[in-house]
Structure 1
Amino acid sequence: MTQSVSTAARVPGPLSAFGLSIIAAVLVIDQASKFVAERTLDFGRTIDLLPILSLLRVHNTGVAFSLGNDLGSLVLVAGTALITLFVLYLWRTAQDGGRLVAAGFALIVGGALGNLIDRVRFGHVVDFLYLHFGARGFFVFNLADVALTLGPILLGWFYLLGGRKASA
């Protein structure tokens, strides 16, 4: 007789209350922050917050680090949609990891949808958080990008760095 995965270790799926609430929270926070940035920040003007973080509203027509600016919105929308569907498939078929893994997938989906909404509505993504060290700038990002970073970190911690042992 084979042993089944315990209920505690099962991954709440994309349509679970847990998964949907994280996706919804990411979308609301992301879209609200972009709305405020669009209404209150002058385009291209930097406002220092911390020695390494400033506000700087820009419109990103590419993907991460403005790569793919020449691809066009339709290609980027289709690519983002396909990748999001693939992530949803991976999430639906995940066997273990519980809420940690579900949170990782939900952050990725919420972040991808947040940027996808911008790309469909405006033809670009609204970025407004500028990470820099002195005069050396690294990148401008938004809260959807934060979710798109934290999600893989959670999944990496579980699948690659031994989170499996901790949750067992």
Structure 2
Amino acid sequence: MNTRLIVWNLALVVIAVVLDQVVKAIVVATMPLGSAIEILPFLALYHARNTGIAFSMFAGLGDVGLSLLAAAVLAVVLFLWWKTPAWRRLTHFGLAIIVGGAIGNLIDRVSLGYVVDYVYFHTPAFDFAVFNLADAFITVGAVILLVDEFILAGGARARPDKAGSDVD
């Protein structure tokens, strides 16, 4: 990776972490735990604590186990990110927001023992899990990776001029 790409990626990570932590701090400071503010008939702000990971899975692992699991996943993502060629800019963007979201949730997990969640999608027939901006960054980043890998980069792999290039 070239220096400019590294700086851009790190800036994206910092922006994602700061946005996530600021919104969580606002929710904690202004909404009692368990309170809800309806925004639309299907969307509410709902202050919740997630003691697991995505959709409260693995809540039984405890704080240390979940923190170690998150750190291991983060290490794997960082390794993949480092190995991604510079010309795969969309993949770099997706990985940057995944890392930012993972760090945002890891900060909560280590400092609070849980993750602050607050976005609640629901309908009369369907309840979706409560999540946060960091979760959204992780999910959108994963979708971006899949789209780039399986749809957009297919033709680029066939171009030898791009395959080994680290040029802007």
Number of the residue aligned with 2:128: 138
Q: Which runs of 5+ in 1 are unaligned?
A: 1-10
Classify the secondary structure of the residue corresponding to 1:16.
helix
Number of the residue aligned with 1:41: 31
1 or 2, which has the higher helix percentage? 2
Q: What TM-score, normalized by structure 2, do the two folds share?
A: 0.87
Classify the secondary structure of the residue corresponding to 1:128.
strand
Distance 1:93 1:135, change over 3 A: same
Number of the residue aligned with 1:93: 83
Distance 1:103 1:48, change over 3 A: same
Residue by residue over 1:60-99, the C-alpha shift from the partner in whole angstroms, topping out at 9 and shown as x without a partner, is 0001111111110000000100110100000111126532
Distance 1:138 1:114, change over 3 A: same
Question: Percentage identity across aligned positions?
Answer: 39
Distance 2:61 2:114 in 1: 12
Q: Which runs of 5+ in 2 are unaligned?
A: 160-168
How far did residue 165 of structure 1 move? 2.9
Map 1:16-165 to 2 at 5 A.
Answer: 16-95=6-85, 97-134=87-124, 136-165=126-155
How far did residue 137 of structure 1 move? 1.4
- 8 Å CA contact 2:53–2:59 kept in 1: the answer is yes
Distance 2:56 2:156 in 1: 37
Distance 1:101 1:14 in 2: 16
How far did residue 134 of structure 1 move? 2.6
Q: How many residues align?
A: 158
- 8 Å CA contact 1:14–1:88 kept in 2: the answer is no
Q: What TM-score, normalized by structure 1, do the two folds share?
A: 0.87
Paired residue type of 1:83? V
- 8 Å CA contact 1:51–1:134 kept in 2: the answer is no
- 8 Å CA contact 2:93–2:141 kept in 1: the answer is yes
Distance 1:119 1:13, change over 3 A: farther
Classify the secondary structure of the residue corresponding to 2:48.
strand
